[in-house]
Structure formats: structure tokens, C-alpha cells
Structure 1
């Protein structure tokens, strides 16, 4: 999509890079992450209103330290360096960076020394979040020191004439008291952004672009029943009307009664008349004896495309496929940090275009999950759709560790249904980002009715998150977990032990596969 204004974030490997993006978008300004290796010509082509250098785990003097083209400082575009970004600005412009005698991690107090547009309306003393082992000990020529902290004698610098600024702390994290204000000052006072990145503008711009792209062609949309595909279908239908052909495929990997229930809701509440295809036998046949999670994802993705192409041939002039790919899918599947490892292949990203004869329409490829929900609200989609927990494209296949078969799916469906119903009954559903059960490839000894059992172990998972990039486990009350565990073991044959996953992301991912 074309954007009237863009803040470009150059990623140097910080764990907080995605947070920078979120804070900017929360201010209704569009932002996008690129690797620090982006060519200077590409930056000129993007024509950003401002550039932010992220933090990073390395020292600017390390042998393979991330770098930028010197010409970036000659573009006349405002620049804000954060942590490593500040140190890189200082090194590139002939300041001095040295190993700190006292490293600085976590909360500390920052004191503003001089009036600066970056610190407009910011308290003179406030708590900031630090994470660094090097310090700027001498600012570049032409730069003023505008803030200090206990262990950072140069905590922030500015060259107002060149519109280059740097802070040693992380304004993007929640723990920095005045962080939002500082970021907004950079956006609106320095970069002169208008702040027109809103759900309503996204909808109107997307409708125009989809109409222009599709022309007289027909479009197929994969309706899974999740938030992303549902909102995408409603958006595309507003753009092209009856040219949209919605198809719901029952893969046999859905939750209990889900395929039937969402099909009824599509018709009755969203006017998304669709074709329902039961392909469960085909998917299970292709997944037979497959244990590797990456192979599962690829088999499911390829089978989806086979089914869609087969259906597309029944209609004339079908040239496009709608997918609900999100920005975190793209970030995790295609590294923005050079040679770092791919975390996992996402169902919506894993090489599908090479396998198909349809062009992709991915209206949410630049959005986070909560932004898609806001677009759904702008489209007047009922909250029961908007608030649905995320569900992976490969479905329950990646929640059964090891080979998938119908018996395991039935066991998992029943257990998962008990878990989710209990969450709703206790009014916890909206407090949780995602909750589900995982069937483990482990059997344990148990005693039921004076008899010895040797049955499956089930793991429960529930996390809180904003966009899925990071997540914390949800702290259920012990009585709730005891109730759910007891109900599952009593009602679901094949399970005799229930455990609760208390891992956060990172280091774990939300899904187990």
C-alpha cells in the first residue's frame, strides 16, 4: 500500500525493535522495519519522514558490528538513534564511544539538562529504561548534550540544525515514563508528521487499491473463521462485491464443531455466502505418519493451494487469492536481521506463491493483529468475530506433537473445548490473547477406578499479548486449573495427566510447533 507518510526503522538486532513500530503506529503514523543493510537508494525511494536507528546487542567496535551507509546523514531526513543507534551516530560522526565502567540495565533516572524539541513538555527528571554496556563519552562535533543519567554522562544528544538526535535509553518500552511523549515529539515536532494512519483511512485506501488491482477479475478468499481471514473477506467484499468467491475448507483440523458453526455465522451475520468443502480425508491422508512440524506446515499449505486451485477452475476469470498474512508473520518468517535463523514457516508465508497459479491479495501484510481488529471494528464486524483468539493456519495439526490421526484429533478437540468453555464461563476470555490445549507425544502412568492406566499427557497454554511478537503466560487461579484438569481427565478418554505451560515468548514461541 502507498502511504502518505512513513517512519523508517532500521533494525540493528534489538529485542525492542517491534515495540518501536508499535509505539509509532499507536500515534497514528505508519512505520515499517527494514534491515540496517538497506541500500541508500531504497531509502530515497521510500522517502520517509523520519528514520529511527534501533538498539542492538553488539558494541559499535565489534568486528561484525551492524553499520549504515555514511550518506544517510546527508539525506536531510530527521534521525533518532536509540541505545546502539545513539552510539552508532556518535561513532559515525566522529564522537567517542567507550566501554562503560558501570553498565546500566533496567530502571534509572534521566535528567534533562537543556531545552530541546525532543523533550518538549517532558519532566526534568523521570524514570527511563536502560540496557547497555557502552557509553558515549564525547559527542560528535556540533552536538549538544541534552540529558544525563547516573551512569550515562551523555544520556541524550541533539544537532537541531541537522535534525539528528540520540538517546541512550529506550523510549519505546512501557517502563520509560515519558517515552510516548518523546516519540511523539520526534514524530510531530521534528518530522512534522500529520498522523493520518487510522483504521478508517486504511479501509478507504485499501478498497481503492483492491478495486484497481483486481479490475474485472474474480477473487477467491480462504475463510478459516479466524479474525484475519474474516476481516479480509469483509474488506475485499466491500471493494469488489460479487466478484469475491469465499471458500471455507474443513481440513479436519478444526476445533470442535467449529467448521459448522462459523459457516452459519458467515451467512447469517456477515453476508459472506460461501462454498463449504469437506477435505478432511485428503488432509489426514497427506499428513499420515508425518512428525516434523515444518513438513506438516508445508504439506497443509500445499494441500490448501491444491484444493483452492481445483475450486478456482470451476469459476471463470479467477486470478487472485486473498490471505490474512500479518506483519509478525512476515517479520518472523523472513529475517530482517541479515543471517539470523528463521523461527518457523508461517502457513500464510511459507512459499505458497511459487506453488500456485493465482496472485496474492494480502491486505494485512503490514498490520499487527490488534490493528486488524481495529479495521474490523471500522467495518462494523460484530465483536464475537473481532475478539476471537488467534488460530494457526495448520489448525490442530501443530497442536498434536508427532503424527496426526483422527483419534488424536478427537481427543484434543474434546479437551480443548472443555478448556475454552471454562475460560468463557469464568469471564477470562477477553483477558487472554490466546488459549489452547496441546496433545503431547508422551504417555504416563495413572490410576483410574483402581486400575492402572497408561495414557496421554495434555498441556494447557494461555498467554497475554498485544500483537503476538512477545507474550506472557496467564496466571490462572489454582482452583481454576484444578477444575479444568479434573474435568478433562474425567470426561476425555485417553488423557490421564494435565500440565500448564508457564513459558513466555521469548524464549518460547506461543504455539508448541
Structure 2
């Protein structure tokens, strides 16, 4: 990367959003924990200090040596970052009498490069319990709200700024302009980091790193692994060996259709039918975590077995994306385990392979942009996220081939219905759950006692939070009728209207 913005993370829930906004300006940026600061090299054009759940007044709250940046590169403190600048340089930060959350109107009346092009009065988003009450003489106040006297400041004689609001959230109406003023006008970034430039530089880097070495990679049919494989394929061609495992838990006909798509893309890929093996290890398991772990181990066993059939493999390719990397080195450590990650993680040490992760600097939307630059099929790029354990965690209770077949038929009717009615692209993720209960029904003049399925569809930006999709009633009625009439063994369909949080997207 020729130039970048460094974002120091103090634990804010919005840090990734700062990065996304900077990336949207076609400028490369990286997030690093405040206590793991990389060397400030000439390619770092500016530094942004994130917000934080901590208070600068607390003993042991996050700190950095401002001397590493001040006077060397432009510096922008956001919320906690601004309070930290004021606190460490001689100002005073106190607990607010009233915690300041939500919309506020920012007024700025003095010319400043940071607020240039921003309306004199503009809506911003506050989210802090402390506030700056006094600043040193070198600090020039450049913005205020009714309740926050020091809403924005500039340290005279240097390119150091602070703001006590969050420009990265959409509620700050002109927040993107403020960030653009900082990274483009103040830092001087060229805005030339695009999907096309990423593809060109990444393929060149992969060619140099991998040379004539062989790479093995597991593909899932999802966006991340497919785009990663395509990049590696463009670099080393047939030296990339792809493996697509049918675990018997995929969507209906998915194994055949995805394998066909990969062959059309020119990938060197082998399909492995391992349904019987997976059904065997899952037999009798009902606990969701036990099912996940059994599937993960079975996958590793199958993948290891297939990888050993390829001579002299040196590298393992993975579709890791940037949020995974950020989480693994986060300020507060990995999040509490709600449930094991949907996608199978690392492979055992005995495989002794070096790792290549061509997407580990990209967010999901950027991965899709790269895929379009590589001219990959839209059917893959627009595909909804699908859990690594597949239908095993959409069948509540034990797994049998019969239950999988029922759920595949139900899911196919639901997903195909969304596509036919033009609703598929409006939904982040959709699927059906087979519940471990039976229900009384009437078909013709006969009493039935058959299975219940729940349909689930959500809207989201990144999957971290999600709202249930408000699908048209007539569509749900048609899908329900079709499922009950066509899928033997199902006599009741319900629709899940739970949001995340408190519910997760998957049921298990």
C-alpha cells in the first residue's frame, strides 16, 4: 500500500465504522490497538484516535504517547480520542452532569480546514459521559453545541484536531465531509485505493510470494472463499488446488450447482462427497455446540485426507476478511463466546502449512467489489451468508438424512420464492428452521400430526445487528401454502419476527 491512514482503537463500538467511512473515500486505512502501534513510516499520512467505553479520568484507561504523532503527521481525535488529547496536554475533562447521547446541532463560526465545506449549523451524533470543560491556550475552539462548549478544536501551529462527536455514524449528517476534509485535504491522501488497484497489486504480490509453490484451499460456495480463490488462481493458475466438500448439510442441489460454477471459473477443483461421514459423526447429537465441533473436526479430517493426496503443498489459502483480523487483536480481546463461529476455523498444527489470506484487509462489501472486478458470477457475489455447519444448526435436535431432505425442500421453496418475487437482494440472510415439535393439522378430512418449520429472513449491513425482514403478507401466505402442499411431513409454517439483538440470526 503506497499510503494509508492509521486508526488507533481504544475499544469503541464504532472503530470499524471509521475505517469503513475512510475506505469509502478510496483511501486505505488500518485499525491497530492503541497498545500495538506500528512504526510510523512515510506511507502513514495521518492518524485517527477512536472513541472508547473508558473514561480518561479512570486509572488504567488507555493511553498513548502523543509525541509519536504530533507535529509528524496530521492527528484527529474522535470523542475519547479528543478528550485524551485535551487531558494529556493540560486541559480538563469532567463527567457530564447529563450524559450526552444522541443528536445535537453543531455550530462552527471560525474557518477551519477540518470543518471547511460543512454547513455553519449541522447535525452530529454525541455518545459520551465525559466532556472537555477547559483546554490549553494553544487549543482553538472551532465548534460547539448547546450543551458542549468544546465540541471541536484545533491545536494552533500543528495539524492536530479533536471532535467530541462521531462523524462516522450516519446520524452525523455531514460526518463524511468532515472525515474527507481530514484524510484528503489535511492528510493529502490521493483517493486512488480502488477494487481495481487492489486486484492488480494483490495478484502481483501473490505471484511474488508464492512463486511456483502449490496452494490448497477449501471452498464453501460463499463470497469470501470464492473471491480469495480467484485472486490466488489469477496469480498461480493450476498450482492452486481447491477442495469443495459436500457435508450433506448444504442447500438443495447446491453441491452440484456450486461445483459447476467453480469449473466454469476455470478453478482447479475437486468435489468430495462426504455426506455419509458427516451423518455418521452427527448421529445422536442434539447440543448445538456438540454439533458444531463434530462438523468442524469431520471437515478437518476430510480436508487433511484430501490435502495429503497432493504432493509438495506449501500453503493453505483462506478467505479470512478484515473484521476477523480486527476481532482477534481487539483492545478487549475476542468477544465472549455466544456460539462457535459459523465458519470452520484454523487447521491443526500437524498440517505444517504456511497461510495465505489475500482478503485479510477487506470488509465484506469490499470483497464483493473485488469479486465484480474479477468478473465473478453475480449469483455467488450476491449469495446470502450461509453457516459453515449448514443445515445442522437449522435442524433443532438430532440430524438424520430424512430431516435434511425435508428442510432442503422447505428452504428451496422459500429461497426460490424470494428470488422469483424480486425480494432476495433486499434481504441480508434467509433460511428455514426445522423445529423439534409436531403440530396437529387437517388435510382434506384427515387429522395430521406433522412437523413445524420456521422461516427466518433478516435485513442487515454487516450481520452484527439485524432486523427481521418485513416481507409482504401475500408472499408469506403463498410460500406457506406451497411448503405445506409440496413438502411431505410439514403441516405448519411460522415466521420469525425477532431482531438481533436479542436473538441471533441462526437459531442454534
Name structure 2 gaps, 5 residues minimum: none
- By how many angstroms is 1:146 displaced? 0.5
Please, what is the CA RMSD of the aligned residues?
Answer: 2.5
For 1:375 and 1:387, the matched residues in 2 are separated by: 13
3-state secondary structure, aligned to 1:384: helix
For 2:505 and 2:4, the matched residues in 1 are separated by: 30
For 2:208 and 2:343, the matched residues in 1 are separated by: 23
**1:244 maps to 2:240:** yes
Report the more deviating stretch, 214-223 or 69-78: 69-78
For 1:198 and 1:28, the matched residues in 2 are separated by: 6
For 2:482 and 2:168, the matched residues in 1 are separated by: 43
- By how many angstroms is 1:512 displaced? 3.2
Classify 1:385/1:221 alpha carbon distance in 2 versus 1 (closer, same or farther; 3 Å): same
Instruction: Write out the 4+ residue segments of structure 1 that deviate beyond 6 Å after TM superposition.
Output: none
**1:390 maps to 2:385:** yes
Q: Hey, what does 2:7 align to over in structure 1? A: 9
1:64-463, aligned counterparts within 5 Å? 64-74=60-70, 76-267=72-263, 269-332=264-327, 335-338=330-333, 340-346=335-341, 348=343, 350-352=345-347, 354=349, 356-440=351-435, 442-449=436-443, 454-463=449-458
For 1:509 and 1:49, the matched residues in 2 are separated by: 39
Classify 1:233/1:332 alpha carbon distance in 2 versus 1 (closer, same or farther; 3 Å): same
For 2:429 and 2:45, the matched residues in 1 are separated by: 36
Deviations along 1:318-354, whole A, 9 cap, x unmatched?
A: 2222221222333446644247524544355633253
For 1:302 and 1:209, the matched residues in 2 are separated by: 32
Aligned length, in residue pairs: 507
3-state secondary structure, aligned to 2:249: coil
- By how many angstroms is 1:148 displaced? 0.7
Classify 1:402/1:54 alpha carbon distance in 2 versus 1 (closer, same or farther; 3 Å): farther
- By how many angstroms is 1:372 displaced? 1.0
- Contact conserved, 1:11 with 1:337, CA < 8 A, in 2? no
**1:490 maps to 2:485:** yes
Give the TM-score normalised by the residue count of structure 2. Answer: 0.92
**1:476 maps to 2:474:** no
For 1:284 and 1:475, the matched residues in 2 are separated by: 35
Deviations along 1:133-167, whole A, 9 cap, x unmatched?
A: 22111123411110011111111111153322111
Report the more deviating stretch, 61-70 or 388-397: 61-70
- By how many angstroms is 1:424 displaced? 0.8
- Contact conserved, 1:335 with 1:341, CA < 8 A, in 2? no
- Contact conserved, 1:443 with 1:454, CA < 8 A, in 2? no
3-state secondary structure, aligned to 2:461: coil
Give the TM-score normalised by the residue count of structure 1. Answer: 0.91
Name structure 1 gaps, 5 residues minimum: none
Deviations along 1:414-468, whole A, 9 cap, x unmatched?
A: 111111011111101112222112233x415332236655544433222223333
For 1:188 and 1:343, the matched residues in 2 are separated by: 40
3-state secondary structure, aligned to 1:187: helix
For 1:355 and 1:344, the matched residues in 2 are separated by: 26
Report the more deviating stretch, 105-114 or 247-256: 105-114
